[in-house]
Every structure is written in structure tokens, then in C-alpha cells.
Amino acid sequence: MKVLTRPKTSFISTRNACKLCSPLGACFVMRGIENCIPLIHGSQGCATYIRRYGISHFREPLDIASSNFVETTAIFGGRDNLFKALDNVIQQYQPDAIGITSTCLSETMGEDVELYLREYAKLRRTSLSPLFFYASTPSYRGTHIDGFNEAVCAVIKATANNENQKTNEDKQRINLISPFVSCEDVREFHRILQAFDVPYTLLPDYSETLDGVAWQDYQKIPNGGTTLADIAKMKYADTTITFNGDSANFPLNNVVHLPLPIGVDNTDKFFDTLKNITNRESATMSYERGRLIDAYFDGHKYVSGKRAVVYGDKMFVAALKSFLEEIGINVVLAADGAETDFETMLETIRSSRCSKTELADKPDFIIGNSKGLYLSRALGIPLVRCGFPIHDRIGGHRILHIGYRGTLNLFERICNTLIEYKQNQEPFGWTYV
């Protein structure tokens, strides 16, 4: 885990292999495309692990196919396994697209998956032939976030050659490439873009496929997801907005990199960008900003001067750090698990609002995913759960983080956590604060 402290010091401490699984992130992208099924080119254990990890966060069924490597496959190659897997998936699911991701084993073996897919297309071309997306995602190269970004690029490239007639609507189109956020955050992105009344493509969109309604009968592929038609139109859009970091090189026009819109400053940047692109404003968003500012006034005395440890995915941590310092909280440690230059990224958004705080100062709370439980117990301080994964609570995939409304939700979560903790430390407590 890469760690940034004040004064400026970074080092590799320890790693959680469960968070460094590139195919995991890629599979969630594939589930965010309409009528698409993910297929892991590797061992059955990889697909089983990703299903289990995802289900315990999203609380939804998560079908992920596998080419099912065994000992002989590791020796003679996985071409036949992949062909059989594709045959089975097409027959059982009848998808419009199949998202194939590699694994550590298939990459180490040197499997040429793209060659296999071209051969398969020539040999098995039928009326049911789906579109193939292939993302190279060995887990020894990057985290689940890197796999997520790699899959998004693969999807865009695979649809770039689709012949579509450009319309006047396509000229005004905005692409928004969502980072790996909660299902509620994805729905919030939709709501914000709809408020500006412009055509757009949001990729990926797993807000329904990973957070759907109760079914009478099992759905092999849930409804929802970004349509292939909308993805094919992305190449015509004049502007693409992304929050995935400068290292995410999406093959589209005029890519604008923004910080994840958590906090007033970061969200203002997002709305200013939309205003400049569309020449429109949203009165609804202005009111929401005003309510957030009012809440800052109401709760400032509960958070001012507090110390926090923040951890999780890189862009999420960077946005949280900016937000926490915005409300007067000193971030004593910020950590993610990536090999990328996390320290440089934080420097670009470093706030001067807070005074310097040494790591030796005991934090008042930690904020991040549920894997921080043991740290919070060891330090005897509360944990504010957000981000991914949340395995020990219900509704982690429905936590709203982004925009003015999401910032308000996080602010109130932090205030109430600190109030509750202080109440519980007193023998009698109190009923007014």
C-alpha cells in the first residue's frame, strides 16, 4: 500500500491481493454494458473469487463466465478452452457482447487472446455472433482500477469502427466516463447530465445491472447498461469528461480530466465544465449547492480541527482528502494500493487550508471501505464507511458520494459518527448537541 504522510514521505508497507485484481475492475465495466456478459480467460477460481467479492458488496447475482484453465491447459494453451467457453456463453446467454479479460496465468503463458478471437470469429460466424471486447488485465500489473480503465478503453476501441451516420444531436453529445463509484453515484451522474438537457453517453452504467429490482424469475443478464449504439456514438462527441486520472488514456476527442466531484470545490469544477460545454446552467444544482454550504455552517463545530486517516482507490482518496480539508479536517495519512505516482497526484490538489499535522498525532476517525475495521478497533476510533468494498454493512453500493448531494451525505455521516462516538464515551450521554 502506498502511503503519503506529512512531512512528505512515502513507502511500500503491505498489500491486500484482493484489492489488486485487475480483472475484477474489468468485469464491473462489462456488467455496465447492455446485454453483455464478462468472461474470464483463466482458472475457475478467478471467476469464483470475483463473483464472491462483488456479490458481498452489491448484494446482487453476478454471472461471470470462465474458460476454466486446468493443469493441461497451462501446458498446451487455452485456445480450445476459450472457444468452448464462448460457445457455451453464446448458447446459454445469447448476449449482444462478451467482455473477455485475461488473468495472471493466461498472461504469464503468453496467450494471444486477440488472435484467438479473430480465429473464432472466422470459424463460428453465425447470426448470434456477439461483439467481443478484450481487456488485457494481469493482476501483477496494477489494481482493479487499472483493470476498470483498461476495460473502458477496450470497449471504446471495439465499437470505434461501427458505421453510424453522424447526426446533429451527436455533435452536441457529451461523453462522461464514470470512475468506479457506487450505483447511486452513477444514477446521480445521470440526473446531473439530464438537468443540463444535452445528449450524452455515460460509460459504464451498472446502476441497474448491479442494483436492480426483485425478480419473479432469474434473469441471466439483468436489464440496464450503456447501449452499444450509444457507445458507438462516443467517437462523434466533441468533449469527453473523465474522473479516472491523467494516466487513463481514452481514445476519444478532447478528453477533460477532472477530480472526482466530492466537496464544493471539486463539484464546482465539474459544473463549471458542464456550463462551459453546454452554455446552460441548472437552478436545481444551485439550490443544492446552497443547502450544502448551509450544512457546512451547521456542522462546522463538530469537525473543525479533527484528524483523519483516508484510504481506498486513488482518485477517491484524492477527492476525499480535498473535501476533508475543505471542511477543516486535517488529513494525517492518505493511502491507496496503486503503483502509480499517488504522491504527485495529491500535490496537484493539496490544500493549504489545514495546518501541518504529523503522522504521530492520533487520528480522530478513519474514512474508507470496510477493510479499515481492524485499524479502527486497534486505535479505538470510529470508521466512516464509504467507497469499495463494503462487505460488513447493507447498502454500501447505494452510498451517494458525488455532487453536492453526495457531499452533503458524506458530511452528515462524518458529523454524526463523531457525535455518536463522543456520546458513547460519556457515562450518561446527552440528547442535545
- Give the domain-ending residue among 131, 159, 187: 159
Q: How many angstroms separate the CA atoms of 227 and 164, rounded?
A: 14
Residues 224 and 287 grouped into a single domain: no
Please indicate, yes or no, if residue 100 is contained in any of the structural domains: yes
Residues 289 and 329 grouped into a single domain: yes
Residues 270 and 369 grouped into a single domain: no
Please indicate, yes or no, if residue 107 is contained in any of the structural domains: yes
Residues 103 and 144 grouped into a single domain: yes
Q: How many angstroms separate the CA atoms of 91 and 100, rounded?
A: 16
Q: What pTM did the predictor assign? A: 0.90
Please indicate, yes or no, if residue 378 is contained in any of the structural domains: yes
Instruction: Identify whether 389 is preceded by a cis peptide bond (ω within 30 of 0).
Output: yes
∠144-226-120 over CA atoms, to 5°?
75
Residues 6+ apart with CB under 8 A from 401: 181, 182, 185, 260, 262, 316, 386, 387, 407, 409, 410
Residues 148 and 227 grouped into a single domain: no
Q: How many angstroms separate the CA atoms of 48 and 153, rounded?
A: 25
**Number of domain units in the chain:** 3
Contact present, 31 and 39 (Cβ < 8 Å): no
Residues 290 and 419 grouped into a single domain: yes
- Give the domain-ending residue among 159, 182, 216: 159
- Please count the other Cβ atoms lying within 10 Å of the Cβ belonging to residue 76: 11
CATH number, domain of 391, equals 3.40.50.1980
Please indicate, yes or no, if residue 433 is contained in any of the structural domains: no
Contact present, 239 and 253 (Cβ < 8 Å): yes
Please indicate, yes or no, if residue 21 is contained in any of the structural domains: yes
Q: What is the rounded (10 degree) CA torsion for 17, 21, 25, 30? A: -140
Phi, psi angles (nearest 5°) of residue 381: -130, 160
- Give the domain-ending residue among 222, 244, 278: 278
pLDDT the model gives residue 5: 46
Residues 121 and 83 grouped into a single domain: yes
Please indicate, yes or no, if residue 431 is contained in any of the structural domains: no
Residues 30 and 147 grouped into a single domain: yes
Residues 207 and 271 grouped into a single domain: yes
Residues 288 and 323 grouped into a single domain: yes
Contact present, 86 and 128 (Cβ < 8 Å): no
Please indicate, yes or no, if residue 195 is contained in any of the structural domains: yes
Per-residue pLDDT tens listing for the chain (433 residues):
444 444 444 545 555 555 578 999 999 999 999 999 999 999 999 999 999 999 999 999 999 999 999 888 888 899 999 999 999 999 999 999 999 999 999 999 999 999 999 999 988 876 678 999 999 999 888 889 999 999 999 999 999 776 666 776 777 899 999 999 999 999 999 999 999 999 999 999 999 999 999 998 889 999 999 999 999 999 999 899 999 876 668 888 889 999 999 999 999 999 999 999 999 888 889 999 999 999 999 999 999 999 999 999 989 999 999 999 999 999 999 988 666 554 544 444 444 454 454 555 689 999 999 999 999 999 999 999 999 999 999 999 999 999 999 999 999 999 999 999 999 988 887 888 7
Please indicate, yes or no, if residue 403 is contained in any of the structural domains: yes
Residues 301 and 334 grouped into a single domain: yes
Residues 393 and 308 grouped into a single domain: yes
pLDDT the model gives residue 74: 85
Which domain does 233 fall in, by range? 168-278
pLDDT the model gives residue 429: 74
